[in-house]
Structure 1
């Protein structure tokens, strides 16, 4: 065999082998790093009167948000047990993003920040009550469940941010990126 034909034959065989390896591969759709969230619902249950439930929902977070059902009408000087529910309505069937977050609690942190427009800045204090399973120095807070304590009457907004923190969660909001950043109007009376 000629010297120049040997490299051509060798390269052809390598191309066939490499091409053969790709034959069994599947095209895998890329995964979203962040959760897709279109709907956020806060449900607060009065600890003293469990039949007193407050629910506020923000729809269409991925387009023009609908705040028509978003106001948290709370009683002054009351403690509520809170939960947050998140949905992705862009998919059929609708995806319960809350379950996805529950499965990946070690990568997520909710940050709740109340800002008063009237009354005291301390009129709503949010305490996260659930923890992840990160090893020491964890576990760290998650925020799917909370206690919310109201003070004197006033108004404001409750900003809710969901931080996506794979491999960097340290109990603070700084690392990672945001899956959700929205605000619920609050009326305390």
Structure 2
């Protein structure tokens, strides 16, 4: 085989391999992106009087948040069961982000933090399916106990923790970080 024929053969093989590499590069594995959340609703049901349901909603979390319906007015010294629901209204129809979180319990943790002096005790009542040392809490459902009258804020943070969830808020990133106003009377 002469030199020009070898060169053409080598160039042809290199072109073929380069083309194969380009095709492989197009098949990029999906990443664990954070959830897109535009609306958060917290619903609390009085355990003693189940018809006493209090809801608060924050809209437009992706732009200029609307807190006009974001106040929880609660009774003093009362226990409530809570559930949070999240929507992504940038999609048509709106995407139920709560369902996505439910499908990926092992990657999410809600952290509820009352402001200093606000008499609230929050217990997360649902758990994921992580193996030992799990399962770990999730926080889609809660039990909230109020104390004496007062007002303040309840910070709600949703931590996105794929492959690092350990029951604490530290690892991961935040899908949601917002405050609900709370009045206990």
Relative to the length of structure 1, the TM-score reads: 0.90
Counterpart of 1:141? 137
Relative to the length of structure 2, the TM-score reads: 0.92
Q: Does 1:170 pair with 2:131?
A: no
Once the two structures are TM-superposed, the CA of residue 169 in structure 1 deviates from its matched residue by: 0.4
Counterpart of 2:59? 59
Q: Does 1:77 pair with 2:77?
A: yes
Once the two structures are TM-superposed, the CA of residue 27 in structure 1 deviates from its matched residue by: 6.9
**Is the partner of 1:101 in helix, strand or coil?**
helix
Gap change, CA 1:184 and 1:107, over 3 Å in 2 = same
CA contact (8 A) 2:32 2:162 kept: no
Counterpart of 2:120? 124
Q: Distance in 2 between matches of 1:157 and 1:63?
A: 21
> What are the residue-to-residue correspondences of 1:3-22 with 2, within 5 Å?
3-16=3-16, 18-19=18-19
Once the two structures are TM-superposed, the CA of residue 2 in structure 1 deviates from its matched residue by: 2.1
Counterpart of 1:94? 94
> What are the residue-to-residue correspondences of 1:12-51 with 2, within 5 Å?
12-16=12-16, 18-19=18-19, 33-51=33-51
Number of corresponding residues: 185
Aligned Cα RMSD in Å?
2.1
Structure 1 gaps of 5+ residues are none
Structure 2 gaps of 5+ residues are none
Once the two structures are TM-superposed, the CA of residue 15 in structure 1 deviates from its matched residue by: 1.7
Counterpart of 1:155? 151
Q: Distance in 2 between matches of 1:45 and 1:99?
A: 21
